Structure 1
Amino acid sequence: MAARSDDAVVLEVGGHEVRVSHPGRVVFPEPGLTKLDLVEYYLAVADGALRGAGGRPMVLKRFVKGIGAEPFFQKRVPENHPDFIDTATLQYARGTSAEEAVVRDAAGLAWVVNLGCLDLNPHPVRAEDLDHPDELRVDLDPMPGVDWSQIVDVAMVARDVLEDHGLVGWPKTSGSRGIHLLVRIEPRWDFRAVRLAAESLAREVERRAPGLASARWWKEERGESVFVDFNQNAKDRTVASAYSVRPLPDARVSTPLDWDEVRSRRPAEFTVATVLERFGERGDPHAGIDDAVGSLDGLLRLAEELGPAEKAPRGASRGDGSGRRVSTMPLIEVARTETKPEALDALDRWKAANPEVVPHLTPADVLVDGMRGSSSLWYRVRVNLQHVPEAGRPEQGPLLADYDPWAGRWPGGSGDGGGSGGSVDGDGVD
């Protein structure tokens, strides 16, 4: 490792030189982890991290202002990328395209971390075939008020549904509150078919575990359940892959597990420090994932048996011509903000102004959603008044904050951003 006069260091990684700028900058104050510590972490777990993210185009989720600030999402690879970073050009649903980074080795991992990426967000396709996913992703996303035992129960049901249809699910902690199941599949189906298979899986899990699991896309309709998030298989979506460091104060890691660990272990146990020790002692529990490739035929037959999913009502019935969905729940919107702290502050102010309502609310009635803007997240705060006596329900009033993520941009952003404006529920991208 050589030093540079500008405080950078140059690492020799697999025959490549990787420059790490500001290596001593503290990224995680609580455990005292520096930028160089994070680079060295990814080099130590490179075998597992590349099994999850290697060879796939990825969105660069860059925390250039630290974990206390919102990241920005960069789809296009920087023009001055080194020659050991491959690229692939993805076509997006709204008609834009982006040449994205493809990491294939440990040097590539070190390079993206130097850019400020904490977690790795690859697409479910290989760079050699961008139209046919080779991975189906099951994101078990708990609603507020749901404990770990319920998440595990739903994971076990999902495992059974997968096995009943000829597929193998590989569990990992999301690095936040939920569980991800990764399913290797033959790259024979397009995104639409993979999403349909995932939706059918979710509906079957809900059928087998009523009240525990939900396949309802609209968040206010789920109650205190675990959402089996099938929409993570849509074309533009990415999720944090195995061994990704998440932007939580304890430097928590999205960690692959064996099935016999799922019930007894907890996400908070897996941090940069503990995962380094675990990986050194036992290697990667997902080492066999690429040998467990399955077919979607069973889940697609299930889709035919279940029939079309119920469609959400649309705004045409309102007569406003907007085409926007009308919720079946008594929702009011509180605020739209640029940052999560601002969203929580607005929620606190709304609660202070409506003290008679607060005792009726369950944790799942308070909806604070990260939404995808042009290149970063913004936040929407809503309250479901379903448990509030009708006579005591406050009317929709002016928003306490009304941030416009599209101000100064054409609708849909520049194509460099993180998505189409949809909700990023729970453990999806964030």
Structure 2
Amino acid sequence: MASPFIEIPVGDRLVKVTNPDKVYFPEHGYTKRQLVEYYLAVGEGILRATRDRPTTLERWPAGVFEGARMATREDYARGQAGMGAGKSDAFYQKRIPKGAPDWVRTARIAFPSGRSADEVCPTEVAVIAWAANLGTLTFHPWPVRKGDVDHPDELRIDLDPQPGTDFSDAVRVALGPARDLLAELGYTGYVKTSGKGGVHIYVRIEPRWTFTEVRRAALAFGREVERRAPAEVTTKWWKEEQGRAGVHRLQPERQGPHDRFGLQRPAAPHAPVSAPVTWDELPDVDPHDFTIATMPARFAEVGDLHAAIDDASFSLEALLDMADRDEKDHGLGDMPYPPNYPKMPGEPKRVQPSKDTGNP
């Protein structure tokens, strides 16, 4: 028996939604149809965040339920080796799914492993709705456009509270040393909640620098914020070195934070979302107030608060000069890369200090 479905008009398209009454968030009874309708309600904003960007889909096709498990890198490696990947309930879709409509565009990107993939590249709101029907709760756009996938056009700053700190700590750092430094650099930063407990700041940059150079600039930004608020901020990589500081965790890898309006990986059953806010309202924000139930009305009232983000882009030269000074005067070079990267030039050991035997 064929599964029930409805068709929703989105622009010039009809988007098929299968099993529309399937409950995706059992605690509140939110259905797949409500998930799709949420993304349509904020469609203008999420398309601005993902338009023309290769985008990884974080899919939860069975919905969100207690004990749901995200597939890990180890699962993938076991599957590639024919060992059986184990049961998982959610996964990252890097390649365009088979059977996608011909109006779903793609962009080819290369991974550090040397492999490549044709990733979904949203060009219209209908693509967002189509992906939501597949159980996509979060869209992870790369900080590049399909016309030039080697030169980022976005600097992403992630203030990520660690154990012992919370959202208020991230807000205090964002409104203090981080915002001050943005102003001194002449940057316009667009702020949002992460959907979990942190704060993300986005800055449009000129697409003139490589990923490695943008990473270097991001490290320089973080280290300068750390100097200004050493009791609250650390750029230390290993948790055992961090203490109780609010961690300014950067996103220098190829994929940065998830999109505006995307749902946070749903450890919380009330479907929290990542929400653009203004700098003025940030001090009074409660990130738990932004959910798939509340955001449509907010978006209808305030619109897309990041609508002007493409109006100006900025140079990284000042930050790269700061990075040069950090290395020359303080011996501050690179930080460890994620484990899926090959060993990078100038990269320190990927070993926790307590486990470092000193052997090469």
Q: Shorter-normalised TM-score: what interval?
A: 0.7 to 0.9
Q: Summarize deviations over 1:71-103 as a string: whole Å, max 9, x none.
A: 211211013211221111111111111110111
Report if the CA contact (8 A) 1:243-1:256 is conserved: yes
What aligned pairs does 1:9-408 form with structure 2 within 5 A after superposition? 9-68=6-65, 69=68, 70=70, 71-156=90-175, 157-230=177-250, 232-235=251-254, 237-246=255-264, 247=266, 248-307=268-327, 308-309=331-332, 325-329=350-354
Q: Distance in 2 between matches of 1:114 and 1:53?
A: 17
Q: Match for 2:332: what amino acid?
A: A
Cα displacement string for residues 95-129 of structure 1 (whole angstroms, at most 9, x for unaligned residues):
11111011111100101101110111111101111
CA RMSD of aligned residues (A): 1.9
Counterparts of 1:72 and 1:216, CA distance in 2:
29
Structure 1 position 267, deviation (Å): 0.7
Alignment partners' CA distance in 2, 1:62 and 1:26: 15
Deviations 1:208-246 (A, max 9, x none): 00120111111221111222222x2212x2421101122
Paired with 1:329 and 1:158, the residues of 2 have a C-alpha distance of 31
Work out the CA distance in 1 between the residues paired with 2:247 and 2:273. 21
Paired with 2:335 and 2:293, the residues of 1 have a C-alpha distance of 45
Residues of 2 paired with 1:7 and 1:312: CA distance? Answer: 51
Partners of 2:158 and 2:351 in 1: CA distance: 26
In structure 1, the gaps of 5 or more residues are 314-322, 332-430
C-alpha displacement of 1:274: 1.5
How far apart, CA to CA, are the structure 1 residues paired with 2:320 and 2:187? 12
Number of aligned residue pairs: give it.
317
Q: Which moved more, 1:127-136 or 1:284-293?
A: 284-293
Render the CA deviation track for 1:35-78: whole Å, top value 9, x for unaligned: 01111111111111111112111111111222232221121101
Give, in whole Å, the separation in 1 of the partners of 2:166 and 2:308. 30
SS in 1 for 2:248: strand
Q: Which amino acid aligns with 1:274?
A: T
Partner of 1:6: 3
Give distance in 2, aligned partners of 1:290 and 1:311.
30
Contact kept? 1:175, 1:253, Cα under 8 Å: yes
Structure 1 residue 325: Cα displacement: 4.2
SS at match of 1:177: coil
Is the contact between residue 108 and residue 118 of structure 2 (CA under 8 Å) also seen in structure 1? yes
How far 1:161 moved relative to its partner?
1.2
Calculate the TM-score normalised by the size of structure 2. Answer: 0.84
Distance in 2 between residues matched to 1:297 and 1:175, nearest whole Å: 31
Q: Which amino acid aligns with 1:245?
A: L
Q: Aligned letter for 1:106? A: V
Which SS does the other structure have where 2:4 is aligned?
Answer: coil
Cα deviation per residue 1:370-421 (whole Å; 9 max; x = unaligned)? xxxxxxxxxxxxxxxxxxxxxxxxxxxxxxxxxxxxxxxxxxxxxxxxxxxx
> What amino acid sits opposite 2:205 in the alignment?
I
Question: 1:159 Cα shift?
Answer: 1.6
> Alpha carbons of 1:9 and 1:162: their partners in 2 closer, same or farther (altered >3 Å)?
same
Q: Contact (CA 8 Å) 1:61, 1:121: kept in 2 or not?
A: yes
User: Counterparts of 1:251 and 1:217 in 2: how far apart (Å)?
Assistant: 30
The one-letter amino acid of 1:21's match is T
Q: CA deviation at 1:155?
A: 0.8
How far 1:31 sits from its partner (Å)?
A: 2.4
Percent identity of the aligned residues? 45
Query: C-alpha displacement at 1:304, in angstroms?
Result: 1.6
1:324 Cα deviation from its structure 2 partner: 6.0
Q: Deviations over 1:296-330 (max 9, x none)?
A: 111111112222425679xxxxxxxxx96443348
SS of residue paired to 1:120: strand
Q: Report the CA distance between 1:144 and its aligned residue.
A: 0.8
CA distance in 2, matches of 1:88, 1:325: 31
Hey, what does 1:361 align to over in structure 2?
none
